[in-house]
């Protein structure tokens, strides 16, 4: 299984979906490849931890868009 180059849907940067990560996904039966680069994923995670209270709460209705799944 070769490494794969994916494009982050948040910042459009290319990132590597490594062999190890692909195996990890397979083990867990994840259907989808990662949509975001590591940096964006980290940001997302932090946003989730702070419960969407990260500054964008104001002016947006609801947090339905966050933590998508």
Instruction: Give the closest residue to 67 by CA, choosing from 57, 52, 53.
Output: 52
Binding range to Zn ion, per CB under 5 A, among 10-18, 27-35, 42-50, 61-69: 10-18
Question: What H or E segment, with its residue span, contains residue 15?
Answer: strand 14-17
**4 DSSP β-pair partners:** 17
Token code pair at residue 33: 């490849």
CB of 5 to Zn ion, least distance (A): 13
Query: What minimum distance in Å lies between the beta carbon of 16 and Zn ion?
Result: 12
Task: Please list every residue from 27 through 56 that binds Zn ion, using CB under 5 A.
Answer: 37, 40
The residue ranges that bind Zn ion (CB under 5 A) are 8, 10-11, 13, 37, 40
């Amino acid at each position: 299984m070769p490494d794969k180059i994916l494009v982050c849907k948040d910042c459009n940067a290319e990132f590597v979906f490594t062999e190890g990560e692909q195996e990890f996904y397979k083990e867990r039966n994840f259907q989808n490849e990662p949509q975001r680069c590591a940096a964006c994923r980290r940001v997302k995670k932090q946003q989730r931890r702070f419960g969407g209270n990260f500054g964008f709460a104001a002016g947006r209705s609801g947090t339905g868009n966050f933590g998508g799944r």
